[in-house]
């Protein structure tokens, strides 16, 4: 009986989180801001990929003689502000939220993080989610795009062991491709095949923040998704 | 009010888990079986380390002209039996438990896994916990030893971001040390220092399943811990 009640209240909390997420998503959409949730295991290279990606987004705007895009990063960790400091060092506007032991990020935390920017207008906001390949898949963070990273040293077989994250992601970014020569047992073909069985519309990129492989392709995809968002918003108004 | 009730019932469930864990621990102790919980992020190298470690435990028994130790491995994943098959291929008795989306292993799962061995007597049982650096730290699995792995490609700064696991572990095993030349920013000294602040009695090993570094030291420590368990049991009887 008690366990049933726990389940019911959990469902209510989850439903409230989804309502908050939908409202947040719509607010960002109205502002022309694409919100991207980046999820992965600890140490998969989320921070390094984001720094490389943001540099590329700025560079490609410059090449098109456009204004540099306004970009913010919300960093989430159990503790510490290590990643937020790294972002600031790279010249990127960033705030840190600490979940204090909780294994996922919920809408209360997202809103608190976003409010900490103090009303700065953004074209892109990235959430570097907590390092966890399991729990964040269950929680809507109000993002327009959900991206998951899998690093080469982790091994391709994670697709069999942790299917939910692969099933809900809009894109899978394989990171640390410069480690491929050291990981001959990393079967890229099997990974892609199994990921597409779980999620037929999954976008897959292979990248390395070190060598720059794949970064411009990911940036182009993100830019395209923002353009789609802007067109969608203008049709609504 | 509802959330408070959820918290209360959660506490009751956790307390029941601890009671079950204590009973399980004592039962294994009476049988002379050391039960070791191995925790880490996905892809930190739990399976490879366990295979290397078990080979070493067998070899060192042989060198002492003792009977080969009886060893079982309980593999835990959200889905699949990839790791259990790897163990069996390496000639190791193994069962697989699938948590079906749940982010940690609880005593019901441990007992189900252990029962699946069908009463085989063991000197050592290892639980390869689910790949998650956060949630398993909170759940007692009835183990005598809790060991955490951190792989070099993950980065040393995980000690700042995910402190609970470091705080509760009996040993930290740094894995994939053969990647150190590729990761010049991996600061082993800072990792050890920060880990010992969180946990002054932490045993720290540096290892590579590929090169064999550290494996015999870990095996010797595990053997010693079993001897301590046997002495403790004989004193009790």
* Per-residue model confidence (pLDDT) at position B2: 63
* Per-residue model confidence (pLDDT) at position B1: 52
* Per-residue model confidence (pLDDT) at position B237: 64
Residue A1 has pLDDT above 60, yes or no: no
Residue A204 has pLDDT above 70, yes or no: yes
* Per-residue model confidence (pLDDT) at position A91: 96
Residue B96 has pLDDT above 90, yes or no: yes
**A40-63, pLDDT tens digit by residue?**
999 999 999 999 999 999 999 999
Identify all chain B residues contacting A134, using CB atoms and an 8 Å cutoff: 78, 101, 103, 130-132, 135
The answer to whether residue A118 neighbours chain B at the CB level (below 8 Å) is: no
**pLDDT classification of A111: cutoffs 50, 70, 90:** very high
Q: Would you call A134 and B132 a contact, using CB atoms and an 8 Å cutoff?
A: yes
* Per-residue model confidence (pLDDT) at position A88: 96
- In degrees and rounded to multiples of 5, residue B162 shows phi and psi of -125, 60
List all residues 6 or more positions away from A81 whose beta carbon is below 8 Å from its beta carbon. A75, A96, A98
Q: How far apart are CA B77 and CA B8, in angstroms?
A: 28
Per DSSP, the residues of chain B read -HHHHHHHHHHHHHHHHHHHHHHHHHHHHHTT-EEEEEEESTTSSHHHHHHHHHHHHHHHHHHTTPPPPPEEEEEEESS--HHHHHHHHTT-EEEEEE-TT-SS--HHHHHHHHHTTTT---SEEEEEEEE-SSGGGG---S-SEEEEEEEGGG-TTHHHH-HHHHHH-SEEEEE-GGGGGG-TT--HHHHHHHHHHH-TT-EEEE--TTT-TTHHHHHHHHHHHHHHHHHHHHHH-
Identify all chain B residues contacting A163, using CB atoms and an 8 Å cutoff: 78-79
**Cα–Cα nearest to A110, from A129, A124, A85:** A129
Q: Name the average pLDDT for chain A.
A: 95
The answer to whether residue A99 neighbours chain B at the CB level (below 8 Å) is: no
**Residue range A12-32: mean pLDDT, rounded:** 95
**pLDDT classification of B98: cutoffs 50, 70, 90:** very high
Identify all chain B residues contacting A101, using CB atoms and an 8 Å cutoff: 134, 164
* Per-residue model confidence (pLDDT) at position A4: 77
**Residue range B228-234: mean pLDDT, rounded:** 89
* Per-residue model confidence (pLDDT) at position A25: 97
Identify all chain A residues contacting B41, using CB atoms and an 8 Å cutoff: 41-43, 131, 133, 154
* Number of alpha helices (DSSP H) and beta strands (DSSP E) in chain A: 8, 7
**Cα–Cα nearest to B103, from A162, A97, A7:** A162
* Per-residue model confidence (pLDDT) at position A232: 85
**A130-166, pLDDT tens digit by residue?**
999 999 999 999 999 999 999 999 999 999 999 999 9
Axis-axis angle for helices A2-30, A107-115 (nearest 10): 30
Q: Would you call A133 and B101 a contact, using CB atoms and an 8 Å cutoff?
A: no
Task: Give the nearest partner residue to A78 out of B132, B155, B163, using CB atoms.
Answer: B163
* Per-residue model confidence (pLDDT) at position B4: 77
Environment class of B231 (CB within 10 Å of its CB; exposed 0-12, middle 13-18, buried 19+) = exposed
- In degrees and rounded to multiples of 5, residue A177 shows phi and psi of -65, -20
Identify all chain A residues contacting B43, using CB atoms and an 8 Å cutoff: 41, 151, 153-155, 158
**pLDDT classification of B9: cutoffs 50, 70, 90:** confident
Identify all chain B residues contacting A43, using CB atoms and an 8 Å cutoff: 41, 151, 153-155, 158
Q: Would you call B43 and A158 a contact, using CB atoms and an 8 Å cutoff?
A: yes
Beta bridge partners of A126: A36, A73
Q: Residue written as tokens 């949730």?
A: A37
Smallest Cα distance from B134 to chain A, Å: 6
Which residue is closest to A176 within chain B, CA to CA? B153
Ranges A36-40, A50-54, A179-183: which has the least confidence: A179-183
List all residues 6 or more positions away from B158 whose beta carbon is below 8 Å from its beta carbon. A42, A43, A131, B41, B133, B150
Q: Would you call A12 and B5 a contact, using CB atoms and an 8 Å cutoff?
A: no
The answer to whether residue A221 neighbours chain B at the CB level (below 8 Å) is: no
The answer to whether residue B134 neighbours chain A at the CB level (below 8 Å) is: yes
Look at residue A86 and give its three-state secondary structure. helix
What Å distances lie between residue A84 and A56, A210, B47, B87, B158, CA to CA? 19, 20, 33, 40, 14
The answer to whether residue B158 neighbours chain A at the CB level (below 8 Å) is: yes
* Per-residue model confidence (pLDDT) at position B124: 98
What Å distances lie between residue A55 and A120, A206, A226, CA to CA? 19, 18, 17
Q: Which of B2, B42, B167, B183 should one mutate to test binding to chain A, selecting the residue with the greatest count of A CBs within 10 A?
A: B42
Q: Roughly how many angstroms between the first and final C-alpha of chain B, as a whole number?
A: 49
Q: How far apart are CA A97 and CA A130, in angstroms?
A: 10
What Å distances lie between residue A29 and A46, A61, B46, CA to CA? 24, 20, 43
Q: How far apart are CA B93 and CA B106, in angstroms?
A: 21
**How is the beta sheet containing B145-151 ordered, strand by strand?**
B93-98, B71-77, B124-131, B34-40, B145-151, B171-175, B203-206
* Per-residue model confidence (pLDDT) at position B62: 97
Identify all chain B residues contacting A12, using CB atoms and an 8 Å cutoff: 2
* Per-residue model confidence (pLDDT) at position B6: 73
**Cα–Cα nearest to A161, from B146, B110, B40, B157:** B40
The answer to whether residue B135 neighbours chain A at the CB level (below 8 Å) is: yes
Cβ of B12: how many Cβ atoms within 10 Å? 13
The answer to whether residue A215 neighbours chain B at the CB level (below 8 Å) is: no
Identify all chain B residues contacting A182, using CB atoms and an 8 Å cutoff: 179, 182
Beta bridge partners of A171: A147, A203
Q: How far apart are CA A170 and CA A200, in angstroms?
A: 10
**B129-182, pLDDT tens digit by residue?**
999 999 999 999 999 999 999 999 999 999 999 999 999 999 999 999 999 999
Ranges A112-116, A205-209, B98-102: which has the least confidence: B98-102
Beta bridge partners of B128: B38, B75
**B40-85, pLDDT tens digit by residue?**
999 999 999 999 999 999 999 999 999 999 999 999 999 999 999 9
Q: How far apart are CA B151 and CA A154, in angstroms?
A: 9
* Per-residue model confidence (pLDDT) at position A237: 63
Alpha-carbon A19 to chain mean position: 20
Q: Are the beta carbons of B153 and A179 closer than 8 angstroms?
A: yes
Residue pairs spanning A and B at CB distance below 8 A? 128
**pLDDT classification of A81: cutoffs 50, 70, 90:** very high
């Amino acid at each position: 009986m008690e366990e049933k009640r726990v389940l019911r209240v959990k469902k209510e909390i989850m439903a409230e989180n989804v309502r908050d997420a939908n409202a947040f998503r719509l607010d960002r959409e109205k502002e022309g801001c694409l919100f991207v949730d980046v999820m992965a295991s600890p140490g998969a290279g989320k921070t390094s990929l984001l720094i490389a990606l943001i540099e590329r987004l700025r560079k490609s705007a410059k090449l098109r003689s456009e204004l540099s895009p306004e970009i913010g990063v919300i960093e989430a960790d159990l503790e510490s502000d290590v990643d937020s400091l790294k972002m600031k060092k790279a010249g990127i506007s960033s705030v840190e939220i600490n979940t204090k032991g909780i294994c996922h990020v919920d809408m209360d935390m997202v809103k608190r993080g976003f409010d900490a920017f103090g009303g700065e207008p953004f074209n892109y906001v990235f959430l570097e989610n907590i390092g966890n390949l399991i729990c964040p898949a269950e929680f809507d963070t109000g993002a327009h795009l959900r991206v998951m990273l899998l690093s080469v040293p982790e091994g391709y077989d994670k697709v069999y062991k942790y299917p939910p994250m692969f099933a809900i992601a809009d894109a899978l970014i394989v990171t640390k491709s410069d480690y491929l020569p050291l990981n001959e047992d990393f079967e890229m073909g099997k990974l892609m095949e199994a990921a597409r069985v779980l999620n037929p519309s999954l976008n897959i990129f292979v990248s390395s923040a070190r060598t720059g492989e794949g970064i411009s392709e990911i940036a182009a995809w993100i830019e395209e998704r923002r353009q789609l968002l802007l067109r969608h918003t203008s049709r609504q108004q």
